[in-house]
Every structure is written in structure tokens, then in C-alpha cells.
Amino acid sequence: MKAIGFAAPGGPDVLHLEDVAVPKPGPDDVLIKVAYSGVNRPDCIQRAGHYPAPPGASPILGLEVAGQVVAVGSNVPREMLGSVVAALTPGGGYAQYCTAPWRHCLAVPDGMDVKHAAALPETLFTVWHNVFERGLARDGETLLVHGGTSGIGTMAIMLAKAFDLNVITTCGDKAKCEAARALGADLAINYREEDFVEAVKAHTGGKGVDIVLDMVSGDYVARNLQCLAEDGRHVTIAVLGGAKAELFMPLVMMKRLTLTGSTLRPRSDAFKAALADEIAQNAWSLFTDGELSPVMDQSFPLAEAAAAHARMESSAHIGKIMLEVAP
């Protein structure tokens, strides 16, 4: 099969199309003929040499796909054969065929756009776990999410509004702020022109937000804590702005704050299966019924994965960047 590989870590230009063996599904896996694969920031970090694949995972990039199941392992329900699924993968998505644990798959019904389905798993699993499970989001609360027009940001805005949360987001320019508001954000702050701490305080009447979903870390953490209301929750999912933060711990004590975070890829198959079940019961129908739809940026042919990575790293995108593998 054709797949995207790279001989050594580096910039987007190290990516190239190569011939590799079709993977064999394990007892609990399905083999998917990939139609589309989503491009995510961790793919770029792995390509640069800073996010190695977990033990046993495919070295090929790609954490989410959609396509048709063409083979199943011995422990997989036979009725999955021939079905169309969206899957969270441990790797291997930038290829014509990809394996995934069958319990990490979500059924794509007739009438649902397969490209849209492929754009969902990584951000949906991440946001559901971190906002609703770790962040304990409840109706009527207020969420602050940074990077509101990223794949994670757009998903967080849509899901939060679907479950009756108020949403404040930060974006890097006027057009991105307008896009975030069009998705439902109650307030979009251009962080290049405004102090988001002061804007949050003004918008909430000094109370602050209940949850911060933070992808920046670094010096944002101390500022995020200033934005939190009493009993607020700070959830870190990436450290794009730096791995270390300096905190004023009396503020944590006085406000009774909770600081948590997670990474999805290293979690056990059993954890991801339980997360998939919860999403299937509570959120997947929002997308299969058409109530919500992922925000799409650009699609690139599989062979142009380098261009897709360059666009991701330019931060010019709004929503999901996709690779078209087999229409």
C-alpha cells in the first residue's frame, strides 16, 4: 500500500510517499480501507521528533480515519465487516489501509459525509474527556478555550454550546474571532489586541470562568488561574507555549482550584473503548443527525501531506485539515 513516511525527524518536507506492507489486524482490530485521515498537531510534533509512537503502535502518522472495514480480527463482531466507521487510531492513518481496535470505532451511517466523520475522532475524544469528564462541565457553566479556531477549539465550542455551556475563546485575529462567534462562542477575544484576563473578568462581572481548556501552558497558566472562578477547573491538554509554569499557590488555595490535564494517545485500549462508548451514547448522534458538523479547512491528497503539515504549522487554518486517501 501507499503510506506517508519519513526517514528522519525534521520539517514538513521530510514527509514522502512510500510503499509499505498492508498491516494485519490483531484479534481485537479491524482493518480499514482509509477514505480520509485527519491531520492533527501531535502528527507534526511526532514528525519533528518530539512525540514518539507508543510501544506497539504503527510508526506511520495519523490518529484518526474514516473508511470501510475490509477485514476483522478473531474477536471482532462479524457484522462489522463491510461497515463504514470513523476510528481513533494509535497511529497509521496516513496510509491506504489502517488498523484500529474495533471498540475505538464509531459507526458512520448512510448520509453522513465520510470526510466529516474522519475529522471527528481525535478532537471529539479529547474534548469530551477533558471538558466533560476531567473538567466536570455542567449546564450553565462558563468555559474558556484557547485557540478557538483550531480543530480542538472548534470542537470545544460546538460541544459546549450543545450542552448549554457559555463559551469564551481566544483567537489571533479578527477573522478568527468572527469564525468563533459564528460557531456559537459568546465572547471571542483577539489576544493580540486585548488582555484576555481583563476581558474575561469584564464579561463575567468579575466572577470568572468555571473551566479553562488550555493548549498553551507556559506563562498562560498563571493568567488562566486569574480567569477562574471559585472552585474552577484548569485542564491542560498541550504545552505549545512551554512546558513549565510558575504559579502563585495561595490563589489556588483561596479559590479552591483544581489543576488537571491528560494526554490521550498513551491511554490504554480499555480506557479509549470506555470513552468511545460514552461518546456513542451521549454525543455521536449530534453529528450523525447533522445537528453539529466539524469545521473544515483544507483537504490535501495523501501525497501532499507535507503541504498539509506546513498549513497546520502556519496556524492560518480554521478548523480541520484533512488528507484524502481514497474518495
User: Are 323 and 301 contacting, i.e. CB atoms less than 8 angstroms apart?
Assistant: yes
234 and 277 part of one domain: no
> Cα dist. 17→158, 227, 253, 305, 310 in Å?
35, 46, 53, 9, 16
Three-state SS letters, 269-319: HHHHHHHHHHHHHHCHHHHHCCCCCCCEEEEEEHHHHHHHHHHHHHCCCCC
Do 13 and 43 belong to one domain?
Answer: yes
pLDDT of residue 230: 98
Residues 131 and 249 in one domain: yes
Q: Give 162-218 pLDDT, tens digit per residue.
A: 999 999 999 999 999 999 999 999 999 999 999 999 999 999 999 999 999 999 999
Give the rounded percent of residues in the chain with a pLDDT score beyond 90.
97
As a whole number of angstroms, the distance between CA 33 and CA 66 comes to 8
Domain region containing 320: 2-120+265-324
CA–CA distance, 52 with 282 (Å, rounded to integer): 32
Instruction: Tell me the pLDDT of the chain averaged across its residues.
Output: 97
Contact 298, 321 (CB under 8 A): yes
| Banded model confidence at residue 326, pLDDT cuts 50, 70, 90 | confident
Domain of 160: which CATH number?
A: 3.40.50.720
Identify whether residues 129 and 241 lie together within a single domain. yes
Which residue, of 261, 285, 302, is where some domain finishes? 261
CATH number at residue 292: 3.90.180.10
Residues 184 and 116 in one domain: no
Residue that finishes a domain, picked among 235, 261, 287: 261
- Separation between Cα atoms, residue 146 and residue 172, nearest integer Å: 10
Express the helix, strand and coil content of the chain in percent, nearest 5 each: 35, 25, 40
pLDDT beyond 80 at 327: no
Average pLDDT of 263-274? 95
Residues 244 and 297 in one domain: no
Q: Residue written as cell 514527509?
A: 15
243 with 186, same domain? yes
Claim to verify: residue 270 and residue 316 sit in the same structural domain: yes
Mark whether 256 and 128 lie in a shared domain: yes
Query: 219 falls in which pLDDT band (50, 70, 90)?
Result: very high
Out of 242, 261, 280, a domain closes at 261
pLDDT, mean of residues 142-156: 96
